[in-house]
Amino acid sequence: MLDVFDIIGPIMIGPSSSHTAGAVRIGKYTFSILGERPVKAKVGFTGSFAKTYRGHGTDKAIIAGILGMDTDDNRISNSLEIAKEEELYYTFETLELDGVHPNTVDIELEGESGRIVNIRGSSIGGGNILINKINGTDVLISGKSAALIISHLDIPGMVAKVSNVLGNHGININKFSLSREEKGGIAIMTIEIDGGIEPSIQQIIQDVPNIISVSILNAI
């Protein structure tokens, strides 16, 4: 069933829910994944984004999100100037990507510590987004719920072990995906949940044998 906000869209600064609101949310999610002050952004647009990003303000929207702004922030229209004031260096380019949504963007974001994240996201209408890749790994995250990103060895029983931890602590899973590059290698669980999650539970999952890393991403 569609949520009312899927139909009428979010509260936002115009002109377009896909080219503005969705783009802000992708940028903000990238900022959330980085987890520190951004200093350098390389943004690649494809499809419809590539053709119209200047006219529709998608460039300003992406940078606004990277700076931590929300979709209804009056500063979005001035985000490029604000980025310069905050010493965020940015570049834009157009890309040719096959098999992706027309409103897709690749973002390489570097933080003040030198940490770099690479994110691919799509704006799918009504301000809704899908995060498709994190650091080259396929994921499927809507950004509407808190999410766990769990890297682990690809061995039998890992999904059940993590699910048991969440179930034992009353945490309900509303969306799940699993990806891996090869059998027996490194796999990534992406789990969206109802409500939030305590850091103590994150540590319990981290302590499960053959878990490599656990990250919590808040809803945006």
Residue 16: enclosing H or E segment and its boundaries? none
Residues 6+ apart with CB under 8 A from 204: 165, 169
How long is the chain?
A: 220
DSSP 40: E
> 185 and 154 in contact (C-beta within 8 Å)?
yes
Torsion angle of the four alpha carbons 177, 183, 187, 192, in this order, in degrees rounded to the nearest 10: 10
Q: How would you label 130-156 residue by residue, b for 16+ Cβ within 10 Å and e otherwise?
A: bbbbbeebebebbbbbbbbbbebebee
Say if residue 85's pLDDT is above 50.
yes
Q: Could you tell me the sign of the dihedral formed by the alpha carbons of 82, 84, 90, 91, in that order?
A: positive
Walk me through the domains of the chain, giving residue ranges and CATH numbers.
4-135 (3.30.1330.90), 146-217 (3.30.70.260)
Comparing 14-23, 39-48, 65-74, 131-140, which segment has the lowest mean pLDDT? 14-23
Place of tokens 């600064």: 13
Q: What share of the chain is helix, strand, coil (3-state, %, to 5)?
A: 30, 35, 35
The span from the CA of 112 to the CA of 19, in Å, is: 28
- The mean pLDDT of 1-28, rounded to a whole number, is 62
The span from the CA of 6 to the CA of 8, in Å, is: 6
Question: Higher pLDDT residue, 219 or 75?
Answer: 75
The span from the CA of 129 to the CA of 58, in Å, is: 14
pLDDT of residue 220: 80
- The mean pLDDT of 47-64, rounded to a whole number, is 90
pLDDT of residue 111: 95
The pTM (predicted TM-score) of the whole model is 0.79
* Tokens, residue 154: 């690809």
Place of tokens 């990003």: 53
Say if residue 88's pLDDT is above 50.
yes
Tell me the per-residue pLDDT of 141-169, one tens digit each, with 9 for 90 and over.
Answer: 888 888 998 999 999 999 999 999 999 99
Averaged pLDDT of the chain: 88
- The mean pLDDT of 181-193, rounded to a whole number, is 88
Residue 46 pLDDT class (50, 70, 90 cuts): very high
- The mean pLDDT of 189-195, rounded to a whole number, is 91
